[in-house]
Amino acid sequence: MSALTQAHIEAALATYTDPYLDSDLVSAGCVRDIRVGGDAVEVDIHLSYPSDYLKDGVAQMLQVALENIDGCRSARVYIDWSVAEHKSQNTVEAIANVKNIVAIASGKGGVGKSTTAVNLAIALAKDGAKVGLLDADIYGPSQGIMLGVKDGTRPTTIDNKWFMPIEAHGLKTMSMAYLTTESTPMVWRGPMVSGALMQILTQTQWGQLDYLIIDMPPGTGDIQLTLSQKFPVSGSVVVTTPQDIALADAKKGIEMFNKVNIPVLGLIENMSMHICSNCGHAEHIFGQDGADELAERYETKVLGSLPLSKYIREQSDEGTPVVAADDCSEVSMLYRHAARRMAVTLALREEGTAVPTIEISED
């Protein structure tokens, strides 16, 4: 029986490739400590993204790999994780206790941005993260319906100054829908809209959050500029469909985030295909490979591709998004994979720079 060495142990650990880090855990720097006592081994591993759902299974696989080493009688693998704070704008004051702000945006409406935002948020919460969700679509807030919050629900206030977020499906949420009724239109000019966003962002008692997911309104207008200039947004996700006109608008969204130094963590492609419920035939109704080509052009990635699914629509309308309804269904797992890829991309990026001044010229 040969003596156990660190080289043997690291070689065994390196047989597992993390599907989100695209690397083995040794090369990724996740192995924090290796302890050898005779023929017993203990290993501490730290991951940089929410991993409650995965860590026990990964620990078991690594334990088996270690116990297959000649001379190893027993092995224990301990995995923990944490989310670090990232800012794209170092000169902007952060929101207290909120580590990361992620904007979910689209160049146009009707591409499933709000559905994507709520399911990504719930997916992160299912993996153990502390998550908030802000519905920043002042004119057409929809998250209240998607989360199943009853019309007329109002947030409690503290000292007539602070809002307490509404909790739903493991999320802390805030929306203009909680402050108005379904039949109340927001007939506001741009400065009023920007002011409302500032208020609900800064006067909500979010508590400790790993991620604050912001469901942005479509386009590249006042709210997008206010958010990018006033708050330290960590990154953005652009939602599109394979349709050429949607991709053209998605380009504008990417360009906008590039101009204000907010990294685009990736794209989500909705309605990528339709799968017939009778025969199983898959058809790319709105086009094919558009998001992949766009991601390659802008040196980002496609975090996930979601089918045109009646189930997704039904669950959203019923107030129970698919990840909340059945977190292990095929569609839910697509969202959960996308959320982990987003979290890893954010965890691996470098800190940003100062916010540029936006000027209007005739060029």
Assess if residue 223 is contained within a domain.
yes
Residues 70, 204 within the same domain: no
Q: What is the pLDDT of residue 363?
A: 39
* CATH number of the domain enclosing 34: 3.30.300.130
Domain count, the chain: 2
Assess if residue 92 is contained within a domain.
no
Residue ending a domain, among 38, 56, 81, is 81
pTM as predicted: 0.90
Residues 235, 308 within the same domain: yes
Angle at 92 between CA 89 and CA 98, to 5 degrees: 90
Residue ending a domain, among 81, 114, 136, is 81
Residues 132, 69 within the same domain: no
Residues 190, 246 within the same domain: yes
Q: What is the pLDDT of residue 87?
A: 78
Q: What is the pLDDT of residue 136?
A: 86
Residues 41, 162 within the same domain: no
Residues 194, 143 within the same domain: yes
Residues 203, 243 within the same domain: yes
Residues 52, 113 within the same domain: no
Instruction: Tell me the residue range of the domain where 34 lies.
Output: 6-81
* CATH number of the domain enclosing 174: 3.40.50.300
Assess if residue 359 is contained within a domain.
no
Assess if residue 276 is contained within a domain.
yes
From first to last of its 363 residues, the chain has per-residue pLDDT tens of 467 889 999 999 999 999 999 999 999 999 999 999 989 999 999 999 999 999 999 999 999 999 999 989 999 999 999 999 987 666 566 788 999 999 999 877 788 899 999 999 999 999 999 999 999 887 778 888 899 998 888 889 888 788 999 999 999 999 888 876 665 555 555 566 677 778 888 889 999 999 999 998 887 677 787 787 788 899 999 999 888 888 888 888 899 888 888 899 999 999 887 776 677 666 666 667 778 889 999 989 999 999 888 888 889 889 999 999 998 999 999 999 999 999 999 999 864 444 333 333 343
CB 316 within 8 A of CB 143: no
Assess if residue 15 is contained within a domain.
yes
Assess if residue 358 is contained within a domain.
no
Residue ending a domain, among 55, 81, 107, is 81
